Amino acid sequence: MDYYSSHINRLIEQFARLPGIGAKSAQRLAFHVMNMPREQVQQLTDSILSARENVRYCKCCCTLTDREICPICANEKRDHSTIMVVENTRDLAAYEKTGKFNGVYHVLHGAISPMLGIGPDDIRLKELMHRLQETDVSEVIIATNSSLEGETTAMYLSKLIKPAGIRTTRIASGVPVGGDLEYIDEVTLLRALDGRVEL
């Protein structure tokens, strides 16, 4: 049974299509938009349309940008011989927030997942291999997630890159800050043990 007009229902349905937005959140967002001043709604819709029309993939690293080359790849002060491979632009942003990585990135836009029908040709692997052939790279840091898909992607990447003589490393994974050991799975504990450092 419909409680609202067709316009409101359509707006709720559109919000519910967004990732992480359930029915109740979609309803809250729809009513929030309905109560916003008209000019704010116009700014929101203009921002969405403008981003959709102007954002593209960086020619070097495949991250999302509104320029041909993203600011990170264009920065000559960064170490272009070290490439960190991440699954998506959000992962890139997470590393950038640390302020500790001075290399450049390559964004795959996904991970290999045979269960979901995502193979090597469905992510930005060809672009990475082309980049490795064209530029002088000393190290590739594989920073995919610690999921089954992330691990599969990391293993596949290392098998592709190592024969080229490029140092290939994997980020360490282990016990999160503030985590209680008794609640952490065995694989994470073993990784933490293997990745231990001297104090």
Q: Residue 2 has what pLDDT?
A: 62
CA torsion 165→171→174→177, rounded to 10°? 160
pLDDT above 70: residue 198:
no
CA dist 39 and 185 (Å) reads 50
Q: Residue 196 has what pLDDT?
A: 66
Model pLDDT for residues 19-65, shown as the tens digit of each residue: 999 999 999 999 999 999 999 999 999 999 999 999 999 999 999 99
Q: Which of 4-13, 35-44, 57-66, 108-117 has the lowest mean pLDDT?
A: 4-13
CA dist 63 and 83 (Å) reads 13
Query: How many CB atoms sit inside 10 A of residue 106's CB?
Result: 26
Q: CATH assignment of 77-193?
A: 3.40.1360.10
Task: Give percent above pLDDT 90 in the chain.
Answer: 68
